[in-house]
């Protein structure tokens, strides 16, 4: 059996989520915009899911706009403001789905400011003050990083940004299901979610928004989702997302504590292996993520060897948005390019066991040894 340790890339569909979705794939085929019974059944299912997602992040159901995923939610937040910001500030470690629309806005009209991070991947008072000196009208900082798992103090930065009158968006795609998220108390106006990071189906997500913000839809048509996002809703996927959000709320504590116990075991075992470097070791991180490197061993090569051994992990380059083959997050943290090429990400999920960590560690030790020997032979 394969050992899956790449839950930040995607999670398996929870059986309970699939059960909830099946009637909307098999039986209830109605269009949620239709007024007859079949349509009303589909509409009701969407509204139940909206309540579940809203409850998951302590928002009002009317604040939840379903999208095709985290990417679309981020694009809507970054590009959709009716009054286009003259200056946008985004952190240097954002996901491509924030960086790319921000860069596009910069080409078209506005100024783009990069909020730098320290060696652990954290925004600091100094880097934030420097960014705010350019008077951005929209700031986007992710709640937790997909590569390092580093958690930014979004509530603190949002308070600081609010005092300037600017709007705040947070990409909570990786944080969701791995830490408590409270839209109301975070102080942000826009928050992105994705279902497939929390054991729901792929191709569905949400933008949670403060209704006072005026957004222009990026997808025009029939005016679904209160006009924010036209297109016939993917009812089964939305139902699955709702159920996944409900389960993530109910099981948050147990999922976090079991992931953390496995992460601590993994870190303990890694510390016994000479030369392994763990990034962002001093920062507060998600309970499931470890980003590491073995200097001199290419991350992509290690990943492929692990794949041959039946173990799924990510390399730093797979996470890179800039297609340079090196993690832009690590480069922003000041890690040198050669070491960044060695990065490998392990992300633990709710169904991983102690044994998965043992399997990973023994394959890792074996591969490191073999790859080091190969490197030495190449030098001989």
Ligand X SMILES: Cc1ncc(COP(=O)(O)O)c(C=O)c1O
- Three-class DSSP category at 249: helix
Query: Which single residue is written with the structure tokens 């806005």?
Result: 105
By CB under 6 A, tell whether 70 contacts ligand X.
yes
Residue 183 vs 364, nearer CB to ligand X = 183
Query: Which residue in 146, 327, 347, 352 binds ligand X (CB under 6 A)?
Result: 146
- Pick the stretch among 54-62, 65-73, 116-124, 288-296 that binds ligand X (CB under 6 A): 65-73
DSSP string, 224-236: TGGGTS-S---HH
- Smallest separation (angstroms) from ligand X to the CB of 194: 3
Residue 132 vs 142, nearer CB to ligand X = 142
Residue 50 vs 196, nearer CB to ligand X = 196
Closest chain position to ligand X (CB): 70
Query: Which residue in 89, 139, 142, 190 binds ligand X (CB under 6 A)?
Result: 142
Tokens of 290: 């470890």
Site string for ligand X, 148-187 (x = CB under 6 A): -----------------------x-xx-------------
Query: Which residue in 177, 205, 287, 299 binds ligand X (CB under 6 A)?
Result: 205
Residue 73 vs 297, nearer CB to ligand X = 73
Phi (first) and psi of residue 254, to 5 degrees: -70, -40
Query: Which single residue is written with the structure tokens 């190969």?
Result: 374
- Three-class DSSP category at 169: strand
Distance separating alpha carbons of residues 14 and 17, to the nearest angstrom: 5
Residue 4 vs 363, nearer CB to ligand X = 4
Residue 179 vs 261, nearer CB to ligand X = 179
Residue 142 vs 364, nearer CB to ligand X = 142
- Three-class DSSP category at 109: coil
Question: Would you tell me how many other CB atoms lie within 10 Å of the CB of residue 118?
Answer: 16
Instruction: Report the sign of the C-alpha dihedral through residues 183, 185, 190, 194, in that order.
Output: negative
Residue 45 vs 144, nearer CB to ligand X = 144
Question: Would you tell me how many other CB atoms lie within 10 Å of the CB of residue 109?
Answer: 10
Distance separating alpha carbons of residues 115 and 271, to the nearest angstrom: 32
By CB under 6 A, tell whether 317 contacts ligand X.
no
Catalytic residues: 319
Give Cα 376 distance to the centre of its chain: 38
Distance separating alpha carbons of residues 347 and 325, to the nearest angstrom: 20
How many residues bind to ligand X according to rule CB under 6 A? 14
Helix and strand numbers (H, E) in the chain are: 13, 13
- Smallest separation (angstroms) from ligand X to the CB of 145: 7
- Pick the stretch among 63-71, 232-240, 268-276, 352-360 that binds ligand X (CB under 6 A): 63-71
By CB under 6 A, tell whether 305 contacts ligand X.
no
**CA geometry: angle at 253 spanning 252 and 259, to 5°?**
90
- Smallest separation (angstroms) from ligand X to the CB of 99: 10
Q: Where are the alpha helices (DSSP H) in the chain?
A: 15-26, 37-56, 70-79, 96-108, 125-132, 154-162, 183-186, 235-250, 252-271, 299-308, 328-332, 337-340, 354-379
- Smallest separation (angstroms) from ligand X to the CB of 213: 20
Question: Would you tell me how many other CB atoms lie within 10 Å of the CB of residue 185?
Answer: 11
- Pick the stretch among 68-76, 119-127, 131-139, 294-302 that binds ligand X (CB under 6 A): 68-76
- Smallest separation (angstroms) from ligand X to the CB of 173: 4
Positions in 79-138 near ligand X (CB under 6 A)? 95, 97
Is the separation of the CB atoms in 80 and 227 below 8 Å?
no
Binding footprint of ligand X on the chain (CB under 6 A) = 69-71, 74, 95, 97, 142, 146, 171, 173-174, 194, 196, 205
């Amino acid at each position: 059996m394969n050992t899956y340790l790449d839950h930040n890339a995607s999670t398996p569909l929870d059986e309970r989520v699939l059960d909830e979705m099946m009637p909307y794939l098999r039986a209830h085929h109605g269009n949620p915009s239709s007024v007859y019974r079949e349509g009303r059944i589909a509409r009701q299912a969407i509204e139940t899911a909206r309540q579940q997602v809203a409850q998951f992040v302590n928002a009002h159901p009317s604040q939840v706009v379903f999208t095709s995923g985290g990417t679309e939610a981020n694009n809507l937040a970054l590009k959709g403001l009716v009054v286009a910001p003259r200056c946008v500030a985004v952190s240097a470690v954002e996901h491509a789905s924030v960086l790319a629309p921000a860069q596009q806005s910069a080409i078209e009209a506005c100024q783009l400011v990069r909020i730098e991070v320290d060696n652990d991947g954290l925004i600091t008072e100094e880097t934030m003050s420097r960014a705010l000196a350019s008077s951005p009208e929209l700031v986007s900082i992710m709640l937790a990083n997909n590569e390092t798992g580093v958690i930014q103090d979004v509530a603190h930065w949002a308070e600081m940004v609010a005092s300037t009158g600017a709007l705040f968006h947070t990409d909570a795609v990786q944080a969701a299901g791995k830490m408590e998220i409270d839209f109301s108390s975070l102080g942000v106006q826009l928050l992105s979610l994705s279902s497939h990071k929390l054991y729901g189906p792929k191709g569905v997500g949400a933008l949670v928004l403060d209704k006072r913000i005026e957004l222009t839809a990026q997808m025009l048509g029939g005016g679904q989702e209160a006009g924010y996002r036209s297109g016939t809703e993917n009812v089964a996927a939305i139902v699955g997302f709702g159920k996944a959000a409900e389960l993530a709320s109910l099981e948050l504590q147990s999922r976090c504590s079991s992931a953390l116990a496995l992460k601590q075991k993994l870190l303990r075992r890694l510390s016994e292996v000479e030369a392994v470097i763990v990034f962002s070791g001093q920062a507060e991180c998600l309970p499931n993520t470890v980003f590491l490197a073995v200097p001199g061993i290419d991350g992509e090569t290690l990943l492929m060897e692990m794949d041959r051994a039946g173990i799924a992990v990510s390399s730093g380059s797979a996470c890179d948005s800039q297609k340079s083959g090196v993690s832009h997050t690590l480069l922003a943290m000041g890690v040198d390019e050669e070491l960044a090429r060695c990065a490998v990400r392990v992300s633990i999920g709710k169904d991983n066991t102690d044994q998965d960590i043992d399997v990973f560690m023994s394959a890792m030790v074996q591969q490191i040894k073999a790859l080091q020997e190969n490197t030495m032979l190449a030098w001989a």
